[in-house]
Each structure stands twice: as C-alpha cells, then as structure tokens.
Amino acid sequence: MIRSSFNQGWHVSREHGDGSGVSIGPVTVPHDAMLFEQRDPKAVNSHNTGYFPGGVYRYTKTFRAAEEWRGRSVTLEFEGVYMRSEVFVNGRLAGGRPSGYAVFQVTLDTFLDYGTDNRVEVVAHNDRGPNSRWYSGSGIYRPVHLLVGDRLRVTPDGLRISTKSVERTEAVVEVQIETVNDGTESRTVTVTTTLRGPRATTGPIEERLSLGPGEKKTLRQRVTVPAPALWSPESPQLHTATVVLADGDQIVDEAVADFGIRTVSVDARRGLRINGEPVKLRGAAIHHDNGVIGAHTLDAAEERRVRILRESGFNAIRSAHNPISRATLRACDRHGVLVMDELTDVWWRPKSRADYSAEFEQWWERDLEALVAKDFNHPSVILYSIGNEIPETATAQGVQRNREMADRTRELDPTRLVTNCINGFLNLIFRGKGEKVEVKTTGEKGGDAPNKNLIAVLNLLMGILHPALRRIVRLPAVDRRTRDAYAALDVAGYNYMAGRYRKDAKLHPERVIVGSETGPTETVPIWREIETMPHVIGDFTWTGWDYIGEAAIAVLPYGRRPSLFGPWPALLAGEPVIDITGHRQTQSYLNEIAWHLRKAPHLAVQPVNHSGEKQYSNAWRSTNSLHSWSWEGHEGRTAVVEVYADAHRVELLLNGDRVGDAPAGPEQDYLATFSLPYQPGNLTAVAYDADGGELGRDTLTSAGPELRLQVQPEGSELRADGADLGYLPIALTDAAGTVRPLADRTVTVQVTGAGTLLGFGSARPVTEESFSAGRYSTYWGRALAVVRAGHEAGDVTVTVTAAGCEPVTVVVPVTAVAPVTAVGRAVPAKSGQ
C-alpha cells in the first residue's frame, strides 16, 4: 500500500463536560496536548503525571478523497493516541482503540465521499483518572499515516522477514508476505522479492500467487543470502526487502521493510548470544516522554535519546511499561541498541483507578498482536515482556493467563524470547485471589480501585526496606509465589530480586534470568555478580533517563528525609543517570566504569553551597554530586570530592598540590572520597594501576567571574518537514565556557521564522514552571530549548536572554524537502462537536 504522512493540517480543541469546546488551534501531529495544559495541584493524576491534568481532545482534519481512490482500499493508521480514542469519518464512528500505546488501523472505504472533501475527527478521552503511573501525554502524540492500495495488496505490516540460520558463508532468511484480496473477483499476480544489503543484492525472486475474492494468503519464501552482513550491537548492519505485486506490466502493490540478519539464542550455561557471540545487557528502563517536549514522539527526539544512551555505555533499553514507538525502534536498529518491548503495566487488577485494566480482558490479545506486528522486522528487539509487576502472577488464574499470553506471543513470533517482569516482593505481599474485578470509575473522585495504593505501598516499603530487600526476596515464599509463572517463560524477569540470582541458579538450574528492573544505586554491586553468572543475561536500571511524573521519587533534599512522592509542585522523578535534557549525571560515569568501558577517573563534587547539611540517600539516588569545581562565594567551606575509578589507587591534586590518595577499585565500589576546604583553581584526579602506571586523569577548573549565556545548537540545519527538531543546550558560563552552577536564573527563549519553540526547560525536579511558556530557570547552570521545524524553508532565529547576560541569537537554516502531495487542511472544530 502507498503510505503517506497524514500529520499536517489538524485542528485541535479541548472539550468540556457540557459538550462545548475551546479551540487550541491548528497543529501538526504528533502533538501532545497535555504538555500545553496548566499544571494544577488538584490534578486528579497528581504526582503520577507531574500534576499535569488530562482532558478530552478532539482533533479534526478535512481532506479530499480523490476520485481515483474509488474501488481501492483506503486506511488511516495511528501509531498511538492517548487514550480511549474514537475515530469519526464524516460524522460516523469508524474505529478507535482503548490503549494509548497500540498501533491501530481504521478502514475508511465505506465512509468516504469521493471527489470531494471529507472530515475525520479523532477524540482522545484522557479525562478520567488517575489512569497512569507516569506522565502519559494526551491526544495524537505519535504519527498518523494514510494508506491507499489496490483491493489485492500486501496488508499493513504484512511483509515480515526473519533469520532462519546463519553460517560462515551464508544466511537463510524467511520472507513472509501476507496478502489480501477483498475485491469481488479472483486475481493472480506475480510476487517479486528483492533483498538489498550492505554487501550485495539477492534476487529478484518471483512466484505466482492467486487469491479468490475475500481471500487472505501468506506466501513464505526461503532466501539464501551469501556472505551476509550481520546485525549486532557492535555492527548494526541493515538490509532492505522490497516486494512487488504485478499483474503483467502493471504494478498492483509494493511493500518495503528494513530488517537485520541475526540470530538470538539463550540458555542457563552460555547466557544470551547474538550470532553466537555472548552479550550481557547493560540496560536502561525508559518511559516514553521526551523531557521538555513531553510525549511528542518524533524521530529526531528518539534518535537523540538512543544515541546518548549508547554513548553512555548502555546497549539495551526496556520500554517501561508500554509498547515502544516505531521511531525509537528505528533508532535502536541504527545504533545497535537491544530492546525489551513491554506490553502493559496492568492486567485485570488496577494500579490506578481508571487505567487499562478495565479493557485488558477484551483487548490484550489484539494489543499483543499489534506490538508483535510493529516489532517483527526490527533486529534490535530480542525480548517481549508481557507485563510489569503483575501481582496476579502469584495466583492460579494469573499463572494460567501468563502461560496463555506467553504461548500466544510465541505463536505470533517464534524468533524472539518472552519474559514477564515480576516483582517477588509484590507477589509476596499480594493477598488478592486474582479474579477479574469490576473497576469503579464513576466521577472524578469516585471510589478507588480494588488493591488501592498497593504500588504506592510497594514503593514506600522498598525505599524503607532497601538495605534488607536482598534478604527478604530470598525467602522461600517468594519462590513459591513466582515459580509457576516463571516456568512458562523463556527468560525470567526479576524486578528488584538480585538477592535471588545465586540461590535460584541452584533451585532452578535451567532458568535464565534478566534483571528487568534494578535501582541505579545497585548497578555496581549487581554488575560484579552478573559478570560471573552466565544464567543472568543482564540488568536494566530504573531508570536510564529521567522522566516526568512519579514526581520527586529520586530527589534527595537537604536537611529533611525525602518523601515517597513529592507534593506540589514536584514535576520530575529526579533519576540520577541522564537528566531530562540529555545531560549525563554522576551515576552515568560510574556505570561506565563498572562496565569496564571507561579507563579514566571521573571527578564529582557534592554541592559546596550545601556543605554540612545532612544528605540522605535512597534506593533511587545515592549522591547529588556534580562534575564541577565552581562554588564561588563558598571559599573555605568543606568540599566533599568523589573520585570514581577502576584503579588500584587514585590521587587528588589541588592546584598541583597533593591532597591525598586512596584505593578506588571494585572492592570500594570504584569510589574514593576526599574532604578539603574549597578554594578555586584546578582540581585533578589521577588513577594508577597496581604497578604505578597512570590509567588516566580528570581535571575540573573553577569558572571565572564573567557571566555569559552559551547556546550551542547540536545540529547545523533542519529539514522543513514539520517534524525535525533542533536541540539547543543553554548554559550559564564564564568567558572560557566553564559552567557556573550557582548562577541560576530565569532564561527567556524567543523563536521566529521557519520554526516554533516546542519545549524549553531544565532538569529542575521541583518547580511551578511550564515547558511551553518560553521562560524557565536553569538548573545547576543548564537548560535546553527544542525547536520544531515548520513546513517552509527559511531560517529559524532563536534569541536567548537572561538578566546580567548579553543576549545570544542563533540562526539555524531550515532546508526544503522533496515535495509531498497535500492530503488535507486544518478546519476548526465547531463548538460541541
């Protein structure tokens, strides 16, 4: 089918309970309506979504249905609408999807008026809450496509390629081509398949295919690829399959898909192997929001995030806790990042009053089918997770459903592994019987769901019991309440159960384990264990990238104990690896050292302006330290310096004078700590091996007295496609470009020309500020602006101002892209429609 963008020309309004509507304006989707809402301390989702409210949003677009479409197949494809969507065509209900994350199609054929304008309306119902345990976004936040094809055609996602075998000199791949003929006559076509790779082209391979009226067939072709370029994390080589259906000289349909040639295998003795080579997963769990631009799912945003994660040492991500976007999968394919794609956070037991549990029983199989169809050709995907911390798995009914879902996943895709990310502590304390329950959803503040506050209690207990959790999960009762569910899986997902790794190797010698979720403070000690255990294939830290919602769970305040979740105006979780702007934090460098990817030491300093104040730690964050020696105004106060290194010893120097030395190897969790009075200058850490040889050094230089705005665009130009993004990190620095973390102030960003400001903010976890206002305070001297290109070529001009600084203006060219035939225009929705 011919696939074209259907993203431009929408108009969106927010609907009120009385049927009236307030126009928000013309938009290009993907569009996250929640990002532009006013945060509210009384928002029903409260800390879960960072106090962003939801609503009912109506997206309207008028487009011309060409006369030549008559008698053809016309379909709209939505990659994600949050949530409980309804799609109307010319006023008639044509489709929709309860899940906010599933890809779904809506057939338009019988609803269209050909040769004239037609009206499509998408209503996203995100008013009932709470329905998410994290920032969800609202509306059409992922792309939309128009698919037009012959009555005999390859179905959407009907071209699927899998690797059957890989030898030294050749590989065998299977090409599955699902075709349908929903016309009124029998048809015969020639199917031609060509595979193009980095080294050679295979094919064309031709076969004849006949389909009767209303018939659907799947053609399977075994293709031998000589000297294949294999896909792996170290060498992510991609191929392209092209399938053409032809009736004589006339092309009836065409399908194209990228894929990778690679094998995946696993067992408890040799662990995970990609193309026969052992791989340990250095994993990051991530939520789907993109920081200051909310849930907008755009290729440039996902490409940047995956690239930064890869550069930080991660080789895997887990899509916590919902199906990942196609854009993210494409980026993972290109960068060699492995993926665990997760179906859902809930089954039929709700975790939030109005969550997906109400639709799970009716929709789980169709949503699973959509997930597998989306993932099938992406070599980065190696694991499907059928759930996250599902307490029903401690019950007989849950064990049965677990097996049904695992078996169905293998039927849909026998080439990948199936897991379920189970929290043994949650299963231990769960006292429900597991039966399906009715969820109370009446009213904004109606009755709470059964098992109310179970997850909140779990998080609270995990924070309090963190030091003892390893002993608790070793209890025999934890095994009894998880083993039946694990028996149905290819890989057992262990959430916060590292204490069972060695024990379960003896109890269940054939079990393969993945640390599907682990607090970041545990990465170092757990990794030392994982390296010695072939049956544990890796670990996913919670989380690799900070996110909106679960507000302040990882924030370490000074002078008082941290609370489980932050009260208003807490916004971000405050996770310690990579912040929402993409800036690497201390834990990120420590991870690299623990993974043996970094030889040089890393210097970090606990904020000297808080010297002497009590700093607490929790399961989510161990330190507030920064990579900075710029603490003007606090000379003479005690500075606590952290030196991270995989070294026999490290030496600390201040302005060339020796401060001291200390061991910093694995026995010390790669950390040496020094205390000294702060004075400006050069602070240097030098790492040495056991023979006294230097392994590397890290130097911090104090900032000078000047104060400047530094704006450094990450790219040189944008494409005028309505979707490209320009990232502009902003910093408060001295004349040499050294960041001044204590110079925080409000910064204003103005954008004119061939683009708009999509989001602007910082990693400040507690604030009343808005990412869409164009004004935001820096955090430790840093902020980030994101510009979205329009559809016209030209220049986009970004002007950044702040008190006490010279303004900075940056001009980024926006270049034209190949012309695309317009298929619609924006028309404001009428009030009450």
CATH match for 600-627+633-701 among 3.10.450.50, 1.20.58.100, 3.40.50.1220, 2.60.40.10: 2.60.40.10
How distant, in Å, are the alpha carbons of 21, 54, 122 from that of 58? 9, 13, 6
CA distance 573 to 583: 15
State the average pLDDT over residues 130-141: 96
Triad 413, 283, 321: Cα angle to 5°: 60
Q: What confidence category does residue 446 fall into, taking pLDDT thresholds of 50, 70 and 90?
A: very low
96-110 tens-digit pLDDT? 999 999 999 999 999
Q: What is the mean pLDDT of the chain?
A: 93
Q: Which of 22-26, 146-150, 411-415, 478-482 has the lowest mean pLDDT?
A: 22-26
- 129/812: higher pLDDT: 812
Strand arrangement of the beta sheet that strand 201-211 belongs to: 201-211, 187-196, 239-247, 250-259
Give yes or no for a contact between 253 and 149, defined as CB atoms under 8 angstroms apart. yes
Q: Which of 227-231, 451-455, 824-828 has the lowest mean pLDDT?
A: 824-828
Q: Which residues pair with 688 in a beta bridge?
A: 649, 694
CATH match for 152-259 among 3.20.20.70, 2.60.40.10, 3.50.50.60, 2.30.30.30: 2.60.40.10
CA distance 127 to 54: 5
State the average pLDDT over residues 426-453: 55
pTM of the model: 0.95
CA distance 685 to 603: 7
User: Crossing angle for the helix pair 357-375 and 326-335, nearest 10 degrees?
Assistant: 40
Strand arrangement of the beta sheet that strand 104-107 belongs to: 2-5, 144-149, 73-78, 104-107
pLDDT for residue 435: 57
Residue 656 has pLDDT above 80, yes or no: yes
pLDDT for residue 436: 56
Question: Which amino acid appears at position 329 of this protein?
Answer: L
Q: What confidence category does residue 824 fall into, taking pLDDT thresholds of 50, 70 and 90?
A: very low
pLDDT for residue 20: 67
Whether 271-592 and 152-259 are alike in CATH topology: the answer is no
- E-assigned strands of 333-380? 338-342
Place of tokens 């004349």: 735
Neighbour tally for 716: CB within 10 Å: 8
- Fold designation for 2-149: Jelly Rolls (2.60.120)
- To the nearest 10°, the Cα dihedral for 271, 274, 279, 284? -110
548-581 tens-digit pLDDT? 999 999 998 887 776 767 899 999 999 999 999 9
Domain ranges of the chain: 2-149, 152-259, 271-592, 600-627+633-701, 708-815
CA distance 45 to 214: 46
Residue 821 has pLDDT above 70, yes or no: no
Residue 174 has pLDDT above 60, yes or no: yes
Q: Which of 233-242, 455-464, 483-492 has the lowest mean pLDDT?
A: 455-464
696-752 tens-digit pLDDT? 999 999 999 999 999 999 999 999 999 999 999 999 999 999 999 999 999 999 999
Q: Which of 258-267, 432-441, 697-706 has the lowest mean pLDDT?
A: 432-441
CA distance 28 to 9: 6
Residue 544 has pLDDT above 80, yes or no: yes
Q: Domain 271-592, CATH 3.20.20.80 — does that match?
A: yes
Please return the burial class of 795, using the count of CB atoms within 10 Å of its CB with bins 0-12, 13-18 and 19+. middle
Residue 441 has pLDDT above 80, yes or no: no
- Fold designation for 708-815: Immunoglobulin-like (2.60.40)
